[in-house]
Amino acid sequence: MAFGQDYVIDTNNGSVTITGYNGEGGAVSIPGTISGLPVTAIGNTAFAFAPLTSLSMPTTVTNIGEAAFLLCNTLTNITLSAGVVSLGDQPFEHCTALKTINVDPANPMFNSTGGVLFNKNFTTLVQYPEGKGGGSYVISNTVKTVGNGAFYSCAGLTNIVAPAGLTNVADFAFDFCGGLTAFTIPAGVINIGDEAFYSCTNLASITIPDGVKSLGFQACCLCPHLTNAVVGAAYVSYNAFGNDGQLATVMLRNSVTSVDYRAFQNCTQLTSVSFGNSLTNLGDSAFAYCFDLANVTLPASLTLLNGHVFEYCSSLTNIFIPASVTGIGDAVFEFCANLTNITVDAANPAYASASGVLFDKAMARLIQYPENRAGHTYTVPAGVTSIGDTAFAFGYNLGAVTIPASVTNIETLAFYDCVNISGLFFVGNPPGLQNYAFNLVNNGTVYYLPGSTGWPASYGGLPTVLWNPQTSAVQAGPTSQSGVLGFEINGTAGLPLVIDATTNVVTGPWTTVQTCTLTNGWIYFSDPQSPSYPARYYRIRSP
């Protein structure tokens, strides 16, 4: 590296690359030679922040690097010489005063008209000057591609008309076009690149045609006034519409096959999503944090629901999983605080539901208990062997859960933050525990039955207590003339009990007549309704 009067240079193979600029700025004309060697290239960020007003260059310059004139905020016009055959990405990025890009007519690769830069045959629009403004601009009918960053930060444009023959919208093409209120994407477009419409803060609606193969990473992200999106792209990329805070309705057309990770995450006012009949994949967190999304109908084509897809969809109340779904990731419905019911199509080969709770097909693994399911108590069905990761997490309605002897494994965070659970009642021996299974179940107690073995004094951080109520014979109460029946109950001090009664032990029904606690290990139960029945039977159970 060497320093000339105004330039920092590198020399290689007998030529000079300008890598920096130390001059006073203004109207600058790059010399054809420095230190007797021809100047052939302007390197990446070479003139960044320079106080230029205009710039011309010799025909010896063939290459201009990426962001070569970054943040040259006083540069108003530039002329590309006949020798320039290569431009790096966004060479004029944040040149907010730039109004005109001229090209020597003899240049074999580039052309310009109206101060806008194109490739030689006008099939690619390379750069619309950021300071040109103009309100409305009609792209030439010859253009097939809007190039990388072509309209980057052109806040002065409110309307851009694309030609019918347009096929490609490259990365960053309309990035930060804050004045743009409308843009119609022609039906022939097949590719929309990464961040193509990123932070177009006044764009109100957008339609992505059916022929688009891929809608790029963050393509329509951070468009705060976007309220409606019709999407036909076969593949909707990561965060494509993320953080579009006013997006209310989304239509995914029949051409859409896959919606990727976080595609619509944090669209907090999204209320309606319709799915086409070709969708097979919903990626991780695809609709996470869509707080207002209350109704979702999954299509019969869907095969994969990846992890956290509907996380924090706090308005979602019911979900139906079609027969086609064969893969469900972790915590798909985590923080769905109003979810009351998960129903699975009976024909589904991989999953099942019972009483609104999600299981695998064999009913061996409990996958998800809806956070707002009705009822203070729940009994895990006999035959279940595993309670899945976060299966009961945030189940604030739950006060007691009964776990059958068939359960051999309780997975990570299975009961996380179930702060209102007071009792976990185990029918069998202690199952295997994974990490933090009872984390934040701060007021819970584990109860186990006589005859079970292996119970320690503490299980998963919770105290364990033998649940062993014993009764005396049913007898008339202290005043025999009344005919009131009662009996003593003895057992471990502090046991919670429910006493049910029926007139028919075979057919029921059983009715709860008292909920109590064995204070000091003893209680006397009496049934004031017993004189009204010729016979009455009682049972004692856990809450």
Name the nearest CA neighbour of 229 among 261, 185, 191.
Answer: 185
Kindly report the length of the chain.
543
Q: Give the per-residue pLDDT at 133.
A: 82
β-bridge partners, 502 = 537
Which residue type sits at 273? V
Domains by residue range for the chain, with CATH = 1-114 (3.80.10.10), 375-467 (3.80.10.10), 470-541 (2.60.40)
Q: Compute φ and ψ for 37, nearest 5 degrees.
A: -115, 145
β-bridge partners, 95 = none
CA distance 324 to 403: 31
Q: Give the per-residue pLDDT at 327.
A: 98
List, in order, residues 6 or more apart from 480 with CB less than 8 Å away.
none
Determine contact, residues 259/238, Cβ cutoff 8 Å: no
| pLDDT tens sequence for the chain (543 residues) | 444 579 999 999 999 999 999 999 999 999 999 999 999 999 999 999 999 999 999 999 999 999 999 999 999 999 999 999 999 999 999 999 999 999 999 999 999 999 999 999 999 999 999 999 889 999 999 999 999 999 999 999 999 999 999 999 999 999 999 999 989 999 999 999 999 999 999 999 999 999 999 999 999 999 999 999 999 999 999 999 999 999 999 999 999 999 999 999 999 999 999 999 999 999 999 999 999 999 999 999 999 999 999 999 999 999 999 999 999 999 999 999 999 999 999 999 999 999 999 999 999 999 999 999 999 999 999 999 999 999 999 999 999 999 999 999 999 999 999 999 999 999 999 999 999 999 999 999 999 999 999 999 999 999 999 999 999 876 654 444 467 888 999 999 999 999 999 999 999 999 999 999 998 999 999 898 888 888 889 999 998
CA distance 179 to 176: 9
Q: Give the number of other Cβ atoms within 10 Å of residue 234's Cβ.
A: 18
Please give the structure tokens belonging to residue 66: 């990426």
CA distance 425 to 449: 8
CA distance 536 to 521: 25
* Order of all β-strands in the sheet with 496-502: 511-517, 496-502, 537-541
CA distance 425 to 448: 6
Alpha helices in 105-220 (DSSP H): none
Three-state DSSP state, 462: strand
Q: What are the E-state strand segments in 290-356?
A: 304-305, 318-321, 327-328, 341-344, 351-354
Q: Give the per-residue pLDDT at 484.
A: 85
β-bridge partners, 516 = 497
Q: Give the per-residue pLDDT at 81.
A: 97
Scan for tokens 């079970």, then name that residue: 452
Q: Give the per-residue pLDDT at 407.
A: 98
Q: Compute φ and ψ for 17, nearest 5 degrees.
A: -115, 125
Alpha helices in 394-456 (DSSP H): none
Please give the structure tokens belonging to residue 256: 């859409």
Residue 93's Cβ-side half-sphere holds a number of Cα atoms within 13 Å equal to 22
Residue 374's Cβ-side half-sphere holds a number of Cα atoms within 13 Å equal to 5
Determine contact, residues 424/447, Cβ cutoff 8 Å: yes
Name the nearest CA neighbour of 523 among 511, 536, 537, 540.
Answer: 540
Q: Give the per-residue pLDDT at 480.
A: 41
Query: If 0-12 CB within 10 Å is exposed, 13-18 middle and 19+ buried, where does residue 241 land?
Result: buried
CA distance 510 to 139: 77
Please give the structure tokens belonging to residue 206: 């957008």
Q: Give the per-residue pLDDT at 535.
A: 87
